[in-house]
Structure 1
Amino acid sequence: MTVASPLRFPDTASAPTMTKRGWWLVVMNILLPGSAQVLAGNRKLGRVGIVATLVLWLLAILTLLTYLIWPSTVYTLFTQTFSLLVVQILLVAYAALWVVLTLDTLRLVRLVKAAPNARAWIAAFSVVVLIGLTCTAGYASVVAGSARGALGDIFSSGPSQPPVDGHYNIMLLGGDAGPDREGLRPDSMSVVSIDAETGQAVTIGLPRDLNPVPFPTDSPLHSLYPDGYGYEDRCDVDVCQLNSIYTEVSLYKPELYPQAEKQHSDPGIESMRDALEGATGLKIQYYVLIDMQGFADLIDSLGGVDVTVSEKLPIGGDENLNGVIDWIEPGKQHLNGYYAQWYARSRHGTSDYDRMARQRQLQDAILKQVNPVNVVSKFQGIADAGTQVVKTDIPQSMLGYFVDLGMKTRKLPVKQLELVPPTIDPANPDYSQIHQLVQEALAPATPTPTSSK
């Protein structure tokens, strides 16, 4: 007689024995799926379950240890299409195996032999655990599938680029594609410069009415506008200013950037990259374009955003406040997507520079409030919104690195450099001064010396 004998060969005539045996098998199936079959049923099936469970635990432990030592490796692993597909397949396969093992365990329990008052409890406990774990695995599989699709749609497959002077410089464009406009026109423009080691970020905001705008000598627009775009009102659209460059190139000069589409970009975006490089003196490796028309969906998917509103802002209405639908009141507010979009775009009673400041405020608030819990719990909506809202040429292979860098950025205050009045006159910009301000903003902080006692 072995230890397994009471489980494999129980006294079926004894209801107390069968009840105790039933609870043992159900709990063993939860703690180590497959062990119930090894001790009381099909040992071959049980060994499959045990091996699968041990492999799953081993992978989880290795992932945790790797995360503690090299977090960027884990971020990279879970942001790649192939690895997400593998995760999705493993989750589905293990969930299916769990269902088989649990149903087989209930068969081995022989509920009809257990005490009448225990039968329902044993069955209910098994079913509840089964539903909980399989739903968790199923949802995780759905998240992996959504992530695989969204990441593949949003991010490029191009080569990674090294930092320049220790920084990654990313052009951030807020696109304003409205029904009253011909095509998309960037409504907000900034360069986010991130220290490649510390994660310290500096946001450099540029006014849309900057004029003239210089281009680097290697830009195809430099030969057309050697003195800068808009110099002496030279341009091919109705208004000669920074955000008009996108419209002009997209509509009339797309041939200047023949490789743009292959590089996960478009001619208008590439012209803005050249313009912001010329204006700031920085080499811009990547861009991110956020379509403000879909911005509200992204905010809603994140569960809203908390901001401190400094002045009352109207929603809708004309310049005389006729037809105002609602107001955004001063004070601490939790804004849903609809109100956040109006907070970013409202112009009445404020200048473009005030609006730029509100947009930076929203960007910073979103960065600080995004966390793994709300991203995972609301990932399906975020992924769906992201594919409609975001366009970028950041390669998917760099996502792990940037996620790790972004975690460092969240812990630090984001520096702000707004190239607006009174510091800069957009109608008569001094680019030597601008370049100097940019370099000073990017310079690492010098520790204050402590006096010795």
Structure 2
Amino acid sequence: MQSALPLRQSPLDHRAQLGRIRFRRAVALMFMTLVLPGSAQLVAGRKETGRIAMRIWFALVITTLLLLAAFAISHSFAISFFLNTTVLGLIRIVLMGLAVGWAYLFVDAWRIGEPLALAQKQRLAMVGINGLLCFSVAGSLLFASHMVTNGQNVISAVFTNGKEKAPAKGRYNVLLLGGDSGADRWGLRPDSITVASIDADTGKTVLFGLPRNMLNFPFAKGSVMAEQFPDGFDCGVTCELNSLATWAADHKPLFKGVKNPGVEATKQAVEGITGLKIQYFAMVNLKGFQKMVDAVGGVTLNVRDRIPIGGVGGPVTGYIEPGKRKLSGFDTLWFARSRESADDYSRMARQKCVMNAMLQQISPQKVLFNFDKIAKASAALVTTDIPAKSADEFINLALAARSHPVRTISFVPPVIRTGNPNIAKIQRMVKKAIDPKAAKKAAKKSAKAGTGAKASPKKQNEGTTGGAIGSLRSGYAANQAEDLGAAC
């Protein structure tokens, strides 16, 4: 009988087995670096490097968890955090440093794995694994740094470094202007003029719409325009409200130190008409608006009539068909500005509906997931004098406004004659909308003096005209609404 003796392993098999062990160890070191940066160095004897990397990693993880908890508790803190350009600059540097440091740890883990001791195929596999992990992790961090840089650029491009302004009687009054800019125009001529009067505590908002074709209006007392036109705007040619931008651009020396004379002249007119103190303005370029709508994936609107695309001086090139539909930036822009088969006041009503839809539908989550596209669109979209320090406050107010119905009051027929507006009546309408107690006192005072105005005609639903509920004769629902969403 032969004795059962253990077979000796051949040197070739021994080397192969040792190679497999080394390869598994090298791969393990790479994935340890992916899951817990510094752990590979720690187990391989490079304790000082490993400890430093792991301390940094744990510090970042703990900081991130604390910030996420703070964001969950306070959305206001989250908004303030991400709108602070100094904080964004610090995050960008941290992300870039993390990308470089992590890439170094991957390369170091590859070196610790002794690639020269591996078989050729195993060395090639290690190079592939290292390259994939290194470039995917570092690339993701550098891309995140790029996104943060875009955020910094947007904040710097859109907002100013000016002084913050206090609310007037508890309200921020922001002049919203919308129009085109082109080679044949002096700057941006506003085709849409609205004042958003926002309660500084609750975010409740009233939109005051001013028709672009308003005539015979005064300016704020003591203003540059009031000195030029003490009896109201009478420029000798076309003296409509939206022509102020052109007039001011032709008389720039009157507006010393003013960056945008057209906006300043329009602001002085709006203050004179409404009696409101305007703290800030935001001017929206309609071409930029189209890009913004596309960036957020479109806006859902209730299209009540067939809306022509084009027309009024040009051919009609298509239509936006009726129905509740998600519109692209191009179609949303034409929904807001089309005048073919409509009038200026039904167009104003549609514009209010677009404003309400944007307010309600653009959520923080949608902004986050489309941030890069929004960042690229924003620079071409808005010009404003709101300082960067106040940006977070206004975004918080916009979020708060979503939980309240938006009220609209427009100074258009049949309530107001745009050719010869009753300024006293307009200012009473404004007071009643933002301060009911003051309105009652004013009504009693005017009644005693025998100057009380008749009640405005009650709007009746006459179907739709030009895509808006109502008619020129009875008025459009979205122009005079307690709840703008319901009127759209």
Tell me if TM exceeds 0.5. Answer: yes
Residue in 1 that maps onto 2:307: 313
Greater Rg by CA: 2
Taking the aligned partners of 1:80 and 1:341, their CA distance within structure 2 comes to 31
Shift of 1:304: 2.1
1:69-92 CA-to-partner distances (Å, cap 9, x unmatched) read 554344233223322221111101
SS, match of residue 174 in structure 2: strand
Taking the aligned partners of 1:158 and 1:29, their CA distance within structure 2 comes to 47
Change (3 A) 1:260 1:180: closer
Taking the aligned partners of 1:67 and 1:373, their CA distance within structure 2 comes to 13
Shift of 1:269: 0.6
In the alignment, which of 387, 411, 414 is matched to residue 406 of structure 2?
414
Equivalent residues of 1:169, 1:283 under 8 A apart:
yes
Change (3 A) 1:333 1:122: farther
SS, match of residue 362 in structure 1: helix
Shift of 1:380: 2.9
Residue in 1 that maps onto 2:220: 216
TM-score normalised according to structure 2 size: 0.78
SS, match of residue 375 in structure 1: helix
AA of the residue aligned to 1:328: I
Equivalent residue runs for 1:292-371 within 5 Å: 292-318=286-312, 323-371=315-363
In the alignment, which of 257, 260, 278 is matched to residue 259 of structure 1?
257
Matched, 1:374 2:378: no
AA of the residue aligned to 1:250: A
Matched, 1:393 2:385: yes
1:321-354 CA-to-partner distances (Å, cap 9, x unmatched) read x832211111122222222222222111101111
Shift of 1:220: 1.5
Query: Which shifted more, 283-292 or 108-117?
Result: 108-117
Change (3 A) 1:142 1:353: same
1:266-286 CA-to-partner distances (Å, cap 9, x unmatched) read 111111111111112111110
Q: Which runs of 5+ in 1 are unaligned?
A: 1-10, 446-453
Equivalent residues of 1:175, 1:184 under 8 A apart:
yes
| Higher relative contact order (Cα pairs below 8 Å, separated by 6+ residues) | 1
Shift of 1:111: 7.5
Taking the aligned partners of 2:205 and 2:45, their CA distance within structure 1 comes to 60
Shift of 1:402: 1.8
In the alignment, which of 397, 404, 411 is matched to residue 396 of structure 2?
404
Equivalent residue runs for 1:114-193 within 5 Å: 130-178=134-182, 181=185, 183-193=187-197
Taking the aligned partners of 1:13 and 1:286, their CA distance within structure 2 comes to 75
Residue in 2 that maps onto 1:279: 273
AA of the residue aligned to 2:366: N
Taking the aligned partners of 2:254 and 2:69, their CA distance within structure 1 comes to 50
Shift of 1:113: 8.5
Taking the aligned partners of 1:444 and 1:52, their CA distance within structure 2 comes to 58
AA of the residue aligned to 1:235: C
In the alignment, which of 32, 36, 55 is matched to residue 32 of structure 1?
36
Taking the aligned partners of 2:297 and 2:319, their CA distance within structure 1 comes to 20
Shift of 1:419: 2.0
Equivalent residues of 1:12, 1:113 under 8 A apart:
no
SS, match of residue 293 in structure 1: helix
Equivalent residues of 2:207, 2:407 under 8 A apart:
yes
SS, match of residue 221 in structure 1: helix
Change (3 A) 1:60 1:314: same
Equivalent residues of 2:205, 2:407 under 8 A apart:
yes
AA of the residue aligned to 1:421: P
Residue in 1 that maps onto 2:469: none
Equivalent residues of 2:42, 2:51 under 8 A apart:
yes
Query: Which shifted more, 43-52 or 107-116?
Result: 107-116
Shift of 1:15: 7.0
Change (3 A) 1:211 1:318: closer
Q: Which runs of 5+ in 2 are unaligned?
A: 1-14, 438-488
TM-score normalised according to structure 1 size: 0.84
Matched, 1:196 2:200: yes
Query: Which shifted more, 408-417 or 138-147?
Result: 408-417
Query: Which shifted more, 305-314 or 373-382?
Result: 373-382
1:224-243 CA-to-partner distances (Å, cap 9, x unmatched) read 222322xxxx214x311211
Equivalent residues of 1:52, 1:94 under 8 A apart:
no
Residue in 2 that maps onto 1:6: none
Shift of 1:256: 2.5
Matched residue count: 423
SS, match of residue 308 in structure 1: strand
Matched, 1:249 2:253: no
Matched, 1:62 2:56: no
Change (3 A) 1:111 1:360: farther
Shift of 1:114: 9.4
Taking the aligned partners of 2:416 and 2:34, their CA distance within structure 1 comes to 66
Shift of 1:133: 3.6
Equivalent residues of 1:206, 1:419 under 8 A apart:
yes
Equivalent residues of 2:186, 2:245 under 8 A apart:
no
Identity %: 35
Query: Which shifted more, 164-173 or 402-411?
Result: 402-411
